[in-house]
Structures are given as structure tokens and as C-alpha cells.
Amino acid sequence: MDNKNNGVLIFLGICILFAGGFIGSGLGDVAKSIEQQYEIGNDDSYRVVVHDGVIYKYDLTLGTIWKKEDNSGAKWKQIDDDGYE
């Protein structure tokens, strides 16, 4: 009787180990697909600075500067090279 119980427990343990391996590899695949879908990484083409309640966004690739007031109704305005809107 004890031999049958030991055999069943060993079989169940092996099944649990295999199932854990399959689940772990499946979760790894999901993480890779999310990373590719959203292109997680560093984007160094923008800088954002907040100064006196105004948000400034610097586009380093195009050399443009945008600003807006720090409130929900404000809209982005592009600043010219001479500092005017």
C-alpha cells in the first residue's frame, strides 16, 4: 500500500514540475511580446522641463521647443528660435 502511495506522489511531483516549467516559459513569451508591442526602451529624443508652472518640451532631433501651462485645459504652443510663440 505504501509503495502505491509513494509512486503516486512521485508521479504528481513530476507532473507539477513539468507544469511549472510550461507556465514559466509561457509567461516569458508573453513578456517578450509585450516588450516588442510597446517598444519598451529609452527614447533620448525629448527633454521635459517644468519651470514656474510652465512645461517645456525640447525635441532634440528637430530642435523645436514646445511649451504649455501646467493645467488640464492648456494647449501646446511652439516657441520660435528667438523665444517668441
| pLDDT tens track for 31-52 | 776 665 555 456 678 888 888 8
Count of alpha carbons within 13 angstroms of residue 59, beta-carbon side: 11
pLDDT at 62: 86
pLDDT at 16: 93
Both 2 and 30 in one domain: the answer is yes
Both 2 and 36 in one domain: the answer is yes
Q: Which parts of the chain sit beneath pLDDT 50?
A: 40
**CA–CA distance, 29 with 11 (Å, rounded to integer):** 27
pLDDT at 82: 61
pLDDT at 27: 77
pLDDT at 61: 85
Both 28 and 56 in one domain: the answer is no
Domain that holds residue 52: 46-79
